[in-house]
Each structure stands twice: as structure tokens, then as C-alpha cells.
A and B are shown apart, each in its own frame.
Chain A
Amino acid sequence: MSAQPLPVVPYLKIPEDGEPYLEGQKCGNCGATFLGERSVCSKCGARDQMSAVTLPNKGELYAYSIVHRSFPGIEVPYVSAVVDLEDGTAIKGNLIDVEPDPEKIPFGMPVEVVFDDALGRKDKDGNSYLSYFFKPAS
């Protein structure tokens, strides 16, 4: 079992010293950004033009759904959100610290990416995980 929490997805980076951050891959040919490792750009097809970039922690709410029924054991309601980060990268996650009411969740709302424990979920070896969430920008 790891003493430190593990990243919930490979593109969440946890440096030994410093703050966690999200890492994207940027195509040197067309500029498209992606979450996760890849060697070929699925927008333009360029090979071996990808380089790692640190994704911004600020963005805006693009679209969302308020989920009232999910799989057994998953706490509802929660807000499943698609966020456009400031550099244009789209990312999906839970929007927290909002009322689950469409009247209270405006499109385009500025949000920030925050990092926290993965809702207490542990893997079969008992490891804890660090996840990312969106919350209204203060």
C-alpha cells in the first residue's frame, strides 16, 4: 500500500514537492490539446509532435447534467460537468459546492480546478486516491 494517495487518472500529476496539477498533451503541428498520453494527433494525424503541457486550473462551465440516478452505492444527486479550461482543453468531472438545481448553475460560470481525496474510495489494496473537482471560482 502506498503511503501517499495515488492519482485517480494518469493525467493528474502529483509532484514530490509542489501542488498537484493536470497535464495535457499538445500537438506541435495543429495545437490541439488532449488529456492522456498519445503519440499521434487525432485531429491532424501528425506523429511524434506531442509535448506535455501543464493545464490551467481555471476554466468555465460548458455543459452539465444533474445526476439523480447512478449505479448502486454512488451518492446522488451530483453535477456531472464538462468544463473548458482557459487553454481550450475540455475536461469532465464533478462540479461541487453548487446546489443541484438548474436555476443555480449558469452556463459559462467561471470554475476552478481543485484537488481532493477521491470521496473516500479505495482500491482493493487499500490505496487512497487524489482526484480533481470543479468548484465555482471565488
Chain B
Amino acid sequence: MTDAYIVGVDMIKFGRFPDRTVPNIGAEAALLALDDCGLTIQDMQALYCGNLGQASGMVGQRLLQEIGQTGIPVVNVANACATGATAFREGWAAIKAGLYDLVLCVGVEQMGKGLLGGAGGGTGIPKEGLLGSGTMPAVFAEAGMEHTRKYGTTFEQFAKVSVKNHHHSTLNPKAMYQIETPLDVVMNAEMISYPNTKLMCSVNVDGSAAAVIASEKKAKELGLMDRAVKVRASVMSSDPWQERDLVMPDVNSCTRKAAREAYEMAGIGPDDIDLVELHDCFATAEILHYENLGLCGDGEAGQFIDSGASALGGKCPVNVSGGLLSKGHPLGATGIANIYEVSTHLRGEAGQRQVEGAKLGMTHVIGLGSACGIHILEKV
């Protein structure tokens, strides 16, 4: 089976673009990724397009109407916050299978402002605030409080995640925000759902990211191996049965399962990873995923953030891009944007925020419901 290489990858600066269309926002990243490897849409043999908000709207085909209708097959993908990673993985699978030699994967989202989620739908009366809360900040607060219950993790430790990621994004010109947020500012921000304050919730933004994946033969033939990034592992999982599933969406067991399989596929362990972009949809979530991804032992995540291990310059920098908390979280784009971030470090092109000597990196996303996508990337 051929190896698959990312030969072109890019993202737009995340922001708010209410006057643009979803395909138009996606087209911009698609062109950037093509330019990154000097190829054109005529070279692409298939398009995998991830978008959530217009999942029934044929976004991929409309995107081609903006950059070139070559008649290639288009697969539109929706998988909650794992949408972009799923689109990427579909492209990867097609290359691995030998079906194509060059594919384009795009993730795009245009978001409104405000709370996502809500308890119970259906008939009768609204259940939000009656049978607890189904808002995303509350759901992830409860998941964080489960960690507090087990290990005594504090509000301050959760808040430190936000301080770190907001600091990282001051070094990332493509992040939504470049604003330092000291600990007291994070902790004193409006409380949304204890222990998540407003600055501990991901930012709803519009954005897009895209990647061109090539077979080894094609990457060599085109002379693109210099900046190529090898996909060492691509894994997805859904949530295996857990006793509190029905009332507590589970982001842990699917991440642990996918991480275990990804390390196995790559033939490496967590100690080999030089940087991680993980799904910090809320500050509480990042703490859980340190352990879920094996970056530290169970119960050690609080100490992991306290020690600076996950900060730029630390043992395993996490979310150097600023993460979802500060770079922003355009749902369908996030999974490819984090692949762009890790690839950029592996190529040594990350400028001020460069993780020195990065050879292997990991990306992780979770779509609640749940879908987990993990990729391990390597500079060859």
C-alpha cells in the first residue's frame, strides 16, 4: 500500500465573514493549498469537502463552481466537530487504496454567534434549564468536574489552559485573536458554566482550511517531496458504550481508543510526539485530553499544565496555534486547520511560534455524539 503525503496545505485567517458564502470561504483555502504545492484544480482527481452548517447544500460542488468545474467526484462530509478530519481521512483512504494519486480535502464553516447545544428537543416543552443543561459549555464543564471529582483538578488549572492558548495565538497571525489574557482576566471573565468562563470557551468564527494529499509515486514524480509531510497514522472512532453515555456525552473513551490505535499504526508512543493540536473546545476539555492522548499519566493533567509542559518551549507543546480557544473554532474547518498547523511546524515554517526541531506531530478532534479523529504526521 502506498504512503500518503500532504504536499499542499493552508488555511485562511479565521474571522467573521457574514457577507460571504460558505463555498466562497472554502474556495479561498482550496486555492491557497493548491498554490502551496504549485498545482491546479485540473490536477485533482477528487474533492472531499467538510461542512456542517450546510450539510445538505452540496458545498463541495458549489466550491468547484468558484475554482473550476472539472467534473471530478465530490464527497460532502458532515461529522460534527470532526467534520474536517473526516474529510481529510476520506481523501487519505482513497490515496492509500490506490484509487487516486492526488486529492483535495477542504473544511469550511460559517458560524453564528452564541451558545451551541441545548437539552432535549422534541415535543412538549423546552427541557433546557429544567433537566439540566445541554449547552456545550455546561456539557464540557460537567466533563471537567468529573476530572475534579477524581483528581482534585482546580478551576485555576482549567483556566491556565486558556492563558496558555491565548498566549500562543499572539504568535499566530492566522488566529482570530492575538490578545494576552492573564490568569486573573480569564478567571474573572463572565462565568458561563462553572468552571468555564467566557474566555475558556472556544470562539465561534468563520474559516476554512485545505490540504492536497498525494501518493508517494506522484509526490516524487512532481518533485514535491522536499516539503511533503507523511501521514503516519489516520484513525477515527465513535464512542464505545459507557455507563453514563445517555446523560454525559463521552469525549474520553473514543479519544483513548483512537489514540491507542494511532500510536500503534505509526509504531511510536506519546514520548515521540513533538507537538499536539488537540480539541480544546473548552479549557476543561484540554485537561482531559492530556491524559486521553497519553501525554501524561491519569491524574497528572493538572500538574502537566502547572509545569508548563504543554506550553511553547515545554516538553510537548499543545495548541501552539492558539487552539480553538483563541485561534477560533469554525467547526467543519477545524480538523484540517490543525493539520495545517502541525504540518507547518514539521516543515520548519511556523515563524515565531516554531516548535524547534519538530519531527512528529499529532492532531486530534472530537465531534460530540461522538466522533474522534486523530492524525500523526511526520516530516520525511
* Interface of A toward B, CB cutoff 8 Å: 6, 8-9, 32, 34-36, 42-43, 62-71, 74-76, 78, 80-82, 84, 88, 90-94, 102, 107-108, 118-119, 121-123, 129, 131-132
B194 contacts partner chain A, Cβ-Cβ < 8 Å: yes
> Would you call A62 and B146 a contact (CB within 8 A)?
yes
> Would you call B141 and A92 a contact (CB within 8 A)?
no
> Would you call A8 and B243 a contact (CB within 8 A)?
no
* Interface of B toward A, CB cutoff 8 Å: 115, 118-120, 123-133, 135, 137-138, 141-143, 145-146, 148-149, 155, 190-196, 241, 243-248
> Would you call B125 and A66 a contact (CB within 8 A)?
no
Q: Count contacts between A and B, CB distance < 8 Å.
A: 132
SS class, residues of chain B in contact with chain A? loop
SS class, residues of chain A in contact with chain B? strand
Picked from A8, A35, A66, A121, the residue with its CB within 8 Å of the CB of B193 is: A66
Considering only CB atoms, which chain B residue lies closest to A95 in the complex?
A: B132
> Would you call A65 and B141 a contact (CB within 8 A)?
yes
A107 to B150, CA, bound (A): 10
Picked from A65, A69, A70, A90, the residue with its CB within 8 Å of the CB of B246 is: A90
- Nearest-neighbour CB distance to chain B for A41, whole angstroms, equals 9
* Chain A residues whose CB sits within 8 angstroms of the CB of B137 once the complex forms: 65, 69
* Chain A residues whose CB sits within 8 angstroms of the CB of B155 once the complex forms: 102
> Would you call A82 and B124 a contact (CB within 8 A)?
no
* Chain A residues whose CB sits within 8 angstroms of the CB of B130 once the complex forms: 8, 93-94, 118-119, 121, 131
> Would you call A75 and B194 a contact (CB within 8 A)?
no
Can you give 29 A-B contacts (C-beta < 8 A)? Answer: A8-B127, A9-B127, A34-B246, A35-B246, A63-B142, A63-B143, A63-B248, A65-B133, A65-B145, A65-B194, A67-B138, A67-B194, A69-B191, A70-B129, A71-B129, A71-B135, A74-B126, A78-B129, A82-B244, A82-B247, A92-B132, A92-B248, A94-B129, A94-B131, A108-B149, A122-B125, A123-B123, A123-B125, A131-B130
